[in-house]
Amino acid sequence: MKKNSIYICVFLYAALVFPVTGKAQDSLAACSRSPKIKWYTMFANIPRDWGRWYDISFRKERTTEWLIIGGLTLATILTDDETYTPAARFYHSSPEAKKWSDFCALIGDGTTQFAVAGGMGAYGLVFHDQRALRTGSQIVQAVLASGAVIQVLKHVTGRESPFVRSTPTGVWKILPNQVDYHRYVPFFDAYPSGHICTSLATVIVVAENYPKVKWIRPVGYTFTTLVGLGMLNNGIHWVSDYPLGLFIGYYFGMLAAHPEGVPVAEGNSVQVHLLPNVTPQGTGVSFSMIF
């Protein structure tokens, strides 16, 4: 698809440009502290990341975060019809609205994330930059590790996507028949959002590897937001599919970016803000998560 090629090229360009904007001494220092990246590192570290995520996520000090994620999910489930209805109306309002919504949703389908990883890897190989190689490897690692967790949860929760909903907020079929799941995927795979998860995980990995490049987080968070809006508009996901996806994506991004064992649980916690949202189209709830 032509549009696919355009945005992939944009991300590849960004991936190739921003490594040279960092301080050279930072790159050398980082390389001296990290082992050489092998082609299989991205795969070999995934089981370790699953274990570390389980350990970090289910500690007692994480209870508050889980309560926040659960409460936020419940609150947005209650308003899913109010948020999806105007979004769907906008999506069908014009060909341009449909085109841009689909474009934003495509940013999170994995193609972009692997394109960024490929761009980083290519840069690292050509210019012998271990930090770029490490970043590309860790993006693949974070996307695959978090994506596997998301897929398990999807196959367990069995929630309808908005565009095929049979009730205002979608039916949940807990532990659905797996044959039916694979025959009629949109009827079962809404929760949680893998697009939003892998998008945020990629941003976190890149930002953690290039902490002095200040534009990475705001630009990355903006694109992640656009992914969420696009999928809401075209009916792939409900707003309530996002909180858990963001939570999982953030931690897997941090785990991949810190193989040396940075104690994520002792770092900055996830801050969540839940606010009422009133627009001419209707009322609902808006939320933000600060990492």
pLDDT for 33-82, tens place per residue? 456 778 889 999 999 999 999 998 888 888 999 999 999 999 999 999 99
Q: Which helix (H) or strand (E) holds 289?
A: strand 282-290
- Do 157 and 244 form a contact (C-beta atoms < 8 A)? no
Which pLDDT band, with edges at 50, 70 and 90, does 24 fall under?
A: very low
95-106 and 2-17 helices, crossing angle to 10°: 50
pLDDT digits (tens, 9 = 90+) for 214-223: 999 999 999 9
Domain ranges, ordered by start, for the chain: 2-290
Please determine, for residue 291, whether its predicted confidence score (pLDDT) is greater than 60.
no
H helix intervals, the chain: 2-17, 24-33, 41-44, 46-57, 63-78, 80-91, 95-106, 111-127, 130-157, 178-183, 194-209, 216-233, 242-257
- Please give the pLDDT value at position 2: 43
Identify which of 289, 249, 258 has the alpha carbon closest to the alpha carbon of residue 65. Answer: 289
Question: What percent of the chain stands above pLDDT 70?
Answer: 78
Which pLDDT band, with edges at 50, 70 and 90, does 9 fall under?
A: very low
- Please give the pLDDT value at position 143: 98
More confident residue, 132 or 2: 132
For the chain, the average pLDDT equals: 85
- Please give the pLDDT value at position 96: 97
Strand partners, 172: 159
Please determine, for residue 158, whether its predicted confidence score (pLDDT) is greater than 90.
yes
Please determine, for residue 239, whether its predicted confidence score (pLDDT) is greater than 80.
yes
Q: Measure the CA–CA gap between 55 and 57, rounded to whole angstroms.
A: 6
Q: Spell out the long-range contacts of 271-278 with Cβ–Cβ below 8 A and sequence spacing 24 or more.
A: 272/68, 272/69, 272/72, 272/243, 274/71, 274/72, 274/75
Report the pLDDT averaged over residues 164-174: 97
- Please give the pLDDT value at position 288: 55
- Please give the pLDDT value at position 26: 44
Q: Measure the CA–CA gap between 18 and 46, rounded to whole angstroms.
A: 26
Phi, psi of 119 (to 5 degrees): -65, -40
- Please give the pLDDT value at position 36: 75
- Please give the pLDDT value at position 61: 86
